[in-house]
């Protein structure tokens, strides 16, 4: 893995975007088609070492803040808020490491996605994420995808998912027991309250390490001499020949020069809003492009465990960050109770408490419920032909409305979160917050996968764009179901399948070429 600034003239595979899903393509291709030449182009800078490492692994607080700011692309310098719990309804501010869509986020008379956000850096949002990796259940599952459960297992492997990293956290089991008492009745084992699977592991020296794209790349990609990552490189369009992938046009942001790089396969893994943007800019515009866009409306509340004494030997950590005392628990989605619950123990209250009321670390329990969207064809990211964004790409125009079913679901989630907060302890504050739309950072559906090319989807179960052979799409935008749970485990699983289909194609073509060559030699 090198950072050579000379772009190649031609490679086998171009990958656009270096977040977890782009990195999954690099990893699987490195494992299964190591002879393939791969160029990965990322518009943002490298902000961590190894490239794509999670910023929480940067111990120096100032260096971490700098890495976050450098990820904020055209939004760098704008105000940020450090936890979803700190966002009150109506506030427009991004989380550190992200920046907001500057305009076009709300059409007149619509709800819009006021805090739709992006990260532009090597590793994408995967350098800033919380790492929650629950598996989807019930109607969340894209069941037409063959071998979906095995793909989830592969996804856990490349993301480095564990369930025991926070086992030492005080009160986690207590929180789960309190929640289970009001949730688990009548649920199957997979649907009961449990530890949240997290892309976090403990190093040999005991320190916690958060997975970023570096973990997904793995040593397999870093050792692959046929793989090159180019940062600060904007892919402006996919090049087609006869409607099929032929390469990309890429702008070197350091010099302003534009190059063409030929490729047999192009994977666009540029996030759920920018993947359709790249396709649109390339003239790849199937009817479903950008449509069925969905975000998970998020309801948050906090509660305080009753009668807990400080555990020995824990230090007070920064507000809102995951530390040794932070247990993370999961209340799974079910079709009957269609909210995904993420419960994190905090060491500080999201709402100020009285000065003479010291917080026992781990005793404040932050609850979040994510709602699945009622999918609508007209909810979409569209693009302007006569306006561009700060990268010079077609400007985004979000069209997004909550339906009556969505409003009922949000009311249901608000009632449910109060029930859960009361089960855990004493709720903090008079009522839950419903966060501004877009807060989940889980935008889905915009380049959705379908079982068949019936006009309602963009790509096949292999993630290949129906109308543009050998152009692949990756990321949460591929997810076709109204998913309430955190989507990265699923989008990486779907990326694994897409990467395998490319690897198979490359390997079979190479074998066929070798057989032809052998025949010619022996003739």
Q: List the catalytic residues.
A: 442
Single out the segment in contact with ligand FAD by CB under 6 A; choices: 37-45, 103-111, 306-314, 332-340. 37-45
Nearest to 74 by CA among 55, 99, 51: 99
**Segment holding 11, helix H or strand E:** strand 10-16
| Furthest CA-CA distance within the chain | 91
Site string for ligand FAD, 179-208 (x = CB under 6 A): ------------------------------
42 binds ligand FAD (CB under 6 A): yes
Q: Is 125 in the site for ligand FAD (CB under 6 A)?
A: yes
Q: Residue 378: CB partners within 8 Å, gap ≥ 6?
A: 291, 399, 401
Binding status of residue 282 toward ligand FAD by CB under 6 A = no
| Under rule CB under 6 A, residue 85 binds ligand FAD | no
Closer residue to ligand FAD in complex, CB, 84/450: 84
Sole window of 169-177, 263-271, 301-309, 508-516 interacting with ligand FAD (rule: CB under 6 A): 263-271
Please state, in angstroms and rounded to a whole number, the distance separating the CA atoms of residues 257 and 238. 17
For residue 490, the minimal CB distance to ligand FAD (Å) is 8
Choose which of 7, 99, 129, 400 interacts with ligand FAD (CB under 6 A): 129
- Exactly one of 1, 11, 22, 294 binds ligand FAD (CB under 6 A); that residue is 22
> Which pair of structure tokens corresponds to residue 507?
């390997």
Is the Cα dihedral 13, 14, 19, 22 positive or negative?
A: negative
Closest to ligand FAD by CB, 43 vs 178, is 43
For ligand FAD, the binding residue among 120, 162, 334, 457 (CB under 6 A) is 120
- From candidates 1, 11, 13, 19, binder to ligand FAD by CB under 6 A: 19
441 binds ligand FAD (CB under 6 A): yes
221 binds ligand FAD (CB under 6 A): no
Can you tell me the distance from the alpha carbon of 433 to that of 418, in angstroms, rounded to the nearest whole number? 11
Q: How many residues bind ligand FAD (CB under 6 A)?
A: 40
d(Cα 498, Cα 27) in Å, to the nearest integer?
A: 12
* Minimum CB distance to ligand FAD, residue 94 (Å): 9
What is the C-alpha end-to-end distance of the chain, expressed in Å? 40
Q: From the CB of 251, what's the least distance to ligand FAD, in Å?
A: 9
C-alpha–C-alpha distance, residues 512 and 369, integer Å: 52
Minimum separation from the CB atom of position 474 to ligand FAD (A): 6
Residue by residue, DSSP assigns 164-230 as: -TTTTSTTHHHHHHHHHHHH-TT--GGGS-EEPPBSEEE-TTS-EEE--HHHHHHHHHHT-TTEEEE
Applying CB under 6 A, among 12, 72, 271, 324 the residue interacting with ligand FAD is 271
Provide the token pair at 399.
Answer: 């069209």
Residue pair 487/444 in contact (Cβ under 8 Å)? The answer is yes
Interaction of residue 304 with ligand FAD, rule CB under 6 A: no
The CA distance from 343 to 302, in Å, is 9
SS3 302: strand
Specify the DSSP element, H or E, that contains 371: strand 364-371
Q: Which of residues 402-431 bind ligand FAD (CB under 6 A)?
A: none
- Establish if 462 lies at the interface with ligand FAD (CB under 6 A): no
Does position 439 bind ligand FAD by CB under 6 A? no
The C-alpha atoms of residue 497 and residue 148 are separated, in whole angstroms, by 9
Does 43 participate in binding ligand FAD (rule CB under 6 A)? yes
Which among 125-133, 153-161, 429-437, 508-516 is the span making contact with ligand FAD, rule CB under 6 A?
125-133
Residue (441 or 503) nearer to ligand FAD, CB: 441
Task: By CB under 6 A, tell whether 486 contacts ligand FAD.
Answer: yes
Q: State the minimum distance, in angstroms, from the CB of residue 349 to ligand FAD.
A: 20
Residue 444, judged by CB atoms within 10 A of its CB (0-12, 13-18, 19+), counts as buried
Q: Which residues bind ligand FAD (CB under 6 A)?
A: 16-22, 41-44, 95, 97-98, 119-121, 124-126, 128-132, 234-235, 269-271, 274, 278, 441-442, 475-476, 486-488, 491
């Amino acid at each position: 893995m090198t950072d050579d600034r000379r772009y190649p003239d031609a490679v086998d595979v171009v990958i656009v975007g270096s977040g977890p899903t782009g990195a999954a393509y690099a990893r699987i291709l490195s494992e299964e088609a190591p002879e393939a030449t791969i160029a990965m182009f990322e518009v943002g800078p490298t902000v961590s070492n190894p490239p794509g490492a999670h910023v929480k692994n940067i111990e120096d607080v100032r260096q971490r803040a700098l890495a976050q700011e450098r990820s904020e692309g055209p939004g760098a310098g704008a105000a940020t808020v450090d936890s979803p719990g700190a966002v009150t309804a109506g506030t427009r501010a991004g989380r550190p490491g992200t920046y907001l869509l500057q305009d076009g986020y709300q059409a007149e008379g619509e709800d819009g996605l006021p805090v739709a956000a992006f990260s532009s850096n090597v590793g994408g949002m995967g350098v800033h994420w919380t790492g929650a990796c629950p598996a989807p259940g019930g109607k969340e599952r894209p069941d037409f995808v063959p071998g979906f459960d095995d793909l989830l297992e592969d996804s856990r492997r490349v993301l480095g998912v564990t369930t025991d990293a926070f086992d030492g956290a005080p009160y986690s089991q207590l929180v789960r027991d309190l929640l289970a008492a009001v949730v688990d009745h009548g649920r199957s084992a997979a649907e009961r309250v449990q530890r949240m699977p997290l892309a976090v592991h403990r190093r040999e020296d005991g320190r916690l390490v958060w997975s970023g794209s570096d973990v997904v790349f793995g040593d397999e990609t870093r050792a692959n001499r046929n793989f090159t990552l180019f940062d600060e490189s904007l892919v402006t369009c996919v090049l087609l020949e006869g409607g099929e992938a032929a390469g990309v046009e890429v702008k070197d942001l350091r010099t302003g020069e534009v190059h063409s790089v030929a490729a047999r396969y192009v994977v666009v893994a540029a996030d759920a809003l920018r993947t359709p943007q790249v396709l649109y800019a390339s003239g790849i515009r199937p009817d479903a492009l950008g449509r069925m866009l969905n975000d998970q409306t998020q309801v948050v509340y906090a509660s305080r465990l009753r009668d807990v004494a400080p555990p020995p030997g824990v230090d007070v950590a920064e507000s809102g960050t995951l530390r040794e005392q932070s247990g993370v628990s999961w209340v799974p989605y079910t079709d009957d109770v269609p909210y995904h619950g993420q419960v994190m123990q905090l060491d500080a209250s999201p709402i100020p408490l009285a000065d003479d009321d010291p917080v026992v670390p781990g005793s404040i329990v932050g609850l979040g419920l994510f709602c699945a969207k009622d999918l609508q064809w007209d909810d979409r990211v569209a693009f302007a032909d006569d306006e561009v964004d700060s990268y010079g790409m077609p400007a985004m125009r979000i069209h997004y409305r909550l339906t009556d079913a969505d409003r009922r679901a949000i009311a249901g989630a608000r009632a449910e979160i109060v029930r859960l907060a009361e089960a855990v302890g004493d709720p903090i504050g008079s009522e839950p917050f419903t966060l501004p739309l877009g807060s989940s950072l889980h935008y889905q559906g915009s380049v959705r996968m379908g079982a068949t090319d019936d006009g309602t989807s963009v790509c096949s179960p292999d993630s290949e764009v129906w109308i543009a052979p050998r152009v692949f799409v990756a990321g949460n935008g591929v997810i076709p179901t109204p998913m309430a749970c955190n989507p990265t485990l699923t989008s990486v699983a779907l990326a694994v399948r897409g990467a395998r289909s490319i690897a198979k194609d490359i390997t079979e073509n190479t074998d066929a070429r070798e057989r032809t060559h052998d025949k010619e030699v022996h003739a």
